Structure 1
Amino acid sequence: MTFILGLTGSIGMGKSATAAIFRACGVPVHDADATVHRLYAGPAVGAVEATFPGVTVDGAIDRARLGEQVIGNAEAMKRLEAIVHPLVRAAEETFLAEAQQKNAPLVVLDIPLLYETGGEKRCHAVAVVSAPAAVQRKRVLVRPGMSEERFAAILARQMPDVEKRARAHFVIDTGAGFGFARRQVDDIIRALAFTA
C-alpha cells in the first residue's frame, strides 16, 4: 500500500521548498499549484475565461488578472474553485494510481488549502510547514505584486497557522533554515518506516 502524506502550510511558510526536499529524497510529490498552472495554460482556459472575462493573455490565464477578480471576493472564488478543483482532483487521482502501480511506499500530496478543502480525508497523515509570523511576512512581502492588502486577503482564506499545527501529525519548522527542515523531512520519512 502506498502511504499518502499530505503536505500543507500557509503562504510564505516554505511549503514548496519543503516539497522539493521530499522530491530530493526520492519521494514522488503531486503539486496541486503546479497542476493549476498547467490547467491555466490549457485545459481550464475556456471555462475560466467564460466565467471571468478578460483574464486570458496569449492563450493562457493571467494569474494577476484573475486575482484581481477573485481575491477578496468569496463568491467569485467559489465559482473559480468549482471549475478548477475537479480538474486538480482528477490529476491527483492519476498520480496516485501511477504510484500504486509502481509500488511507491510513500507519496506526498502538496496541497496549499488542504484543511480548508477537506483534503486531509484523502491522506493517511498530514505534515504542516510552519515558520514564525515575522519570517512568513518578510518572505511574502518581497514577492512581486504582493501588497499588505493582498497578503491580508490571502491569509483570510487560510486556516490560522496555529490551528493547522494543532491538527497536523508532523510540523516542519522552516524558520531556522532549510538544512534544519531537511533533517525534519528525513525524520518523517524514517518515522513512516521508509528510507530516503
Structure 2
Amino acid sequence: MRIIGITGGVGAGKSTVLAFLEKEYGAAVIQADQVGHLVMEPGEECYEDVIGIFGKEIIKEDKTIDRKRVSDVVFEQPHLLKRLESVIHPAVKRYICRRIRELQESGCRLCVVEAALLLEEHYQDFCDQVWYIHTDPQIRIRRLEESRGYTREKAEGIIASQATEEYFRAHTDYVIENNNDLDRTYAQIRERIEKHAVL
C-alpha cells in the first residue's frame, strides 16, 4: 500500500484533492481533524482527559463534549490549548497508525492522510511521499469568508499563525497548485499518480 500525506494551510482546498483521490483512484482517506473529533467522543481515548482540562461545563446533555465551548475557552485562555494538544495529538497519531495497519491488512492499495500539522507532528515518517496543496492567500481568504463566514481579519490571522509557504515547500515532495482552475489541479494529481508510479 502506498501512503500519501496531504498538507497545506487553511482554505487551501485540501478536501477537494482528497475527494478526487477517493473518487478517481479509490483511495482510503484519513483526516486528522475528523479523528481529533472522534477521540473526544464518550468512551474514546481522550474524553475523560479533555473534561479533566476544561471541567464538566463542557459536557452537553447528550454527554458529548461541546467542541464550540472548548474552542471559545481556548481562545480566551491560550495556555489551555497546549494542554489540549498534548492529549489530542498523540491520540490522533496512534489512531491513524492503527487505521493504516488495518488498511494494509485489508489489501488497500492507496491511503491518503491529511493533516494541517502533518509536518510538525512528523506524519511524514510513515508516508511514502508528502504533497503540499498551495493556494494564493487572497483566494484562501475569500474561501474562508464564503465557506466559514470568517471576517477578513480572522482569516488573515489564522493564515499568519500557520507555517509559511517556504516551510511547506522545503519539507514536502510535491506541490499541487489549487487556485481557481480545478482541471489544472486534477491534471497535476493525475500526473503525479500515473507518471510517477505512485500506484
TM-score (norm 2): 0.85
1:73 deviation in Å?
5.5
* 2:39 corresponds to: 39
- Alignment length (residue pairs): 194
Distance 1:61 1:153, change over 3 A: farther
RMSD: 2.3
Distance 1:18 1:106, change over 3 A: same
* 2:172 corresponds to: 168
Distance 1:122 1:156, change over 3 A: farther
Alpha-carbon displacement from aligned partner over 1:15-53 (angstroms, at most 9, x marks no partner): 112111111121111111111222233323322122013
Aligned counterparts of 2:161 and 2:36: Cα–Cα separation in 1: 18
Aligned positions of 1:18-97 closer than 5 A: 18-24=17-23, 25-42=25-42, 43=44, 44-53=46-55, 54-58=57-61, 59-71=63-75, 75-97=79-101
* 2:4 corresponds to: 5
Q: Does 1:189 align with 2:188?
A: no
Aligned counterparts of 2:118 and 2:181: Cα–Cα separation in 1: 24
Alpha-carbon displacement from aligned partner over 1:78-118 (angstroms, at most 9, x marks no partner): 21111112221222112111222133333211111112222
Aligned counterparts of 2:126 and 2:142: Cα–Cα separation in 1: 32
* 1:121 corresponds to: 125
Aligned counterparts of 1:148 and 1:70: Cα–Cα separation in 2: 21
Q: Is contact 1:56–1:62 with CA below 8 Å preserved after alignment?
A: yes
Aligned counterparts of 2:74 and 2:155: Cα–Cα separation in 1: 14
Q: Is contact 2:141–2:152 with CA below 8 Å preserved after alignment?
A: no
Amino acid at match of 1:20: A
Aligned positions of 1:120-139 closer than 5 A: 120-139=124-143
Larger mean CA deviation between 121-130 and 71-80 belongs to 71-80
Distance 1:72 1:193, change over 3 A: farther
1:139 deviation in Å?
0.8
Gaps of 5+ in 2: none
Distance 1:107 1:81, change over 3 A: same
Q: Is contact 2:141–2:156 with CA below 8 Å preserved after alignment?
A: no
Q: Is contact 2:133–2:177 with CA below 8 Å preserved after alignment?
A: yes
Q: Is contact 1:71–1:154 with CA below 8 Å preserved after alignment?
A: no
1:141 deviation in Å?
2.2
Q: Is contact 1:113–1:158 with CA below 8 Å preserved after alignment?
A: no
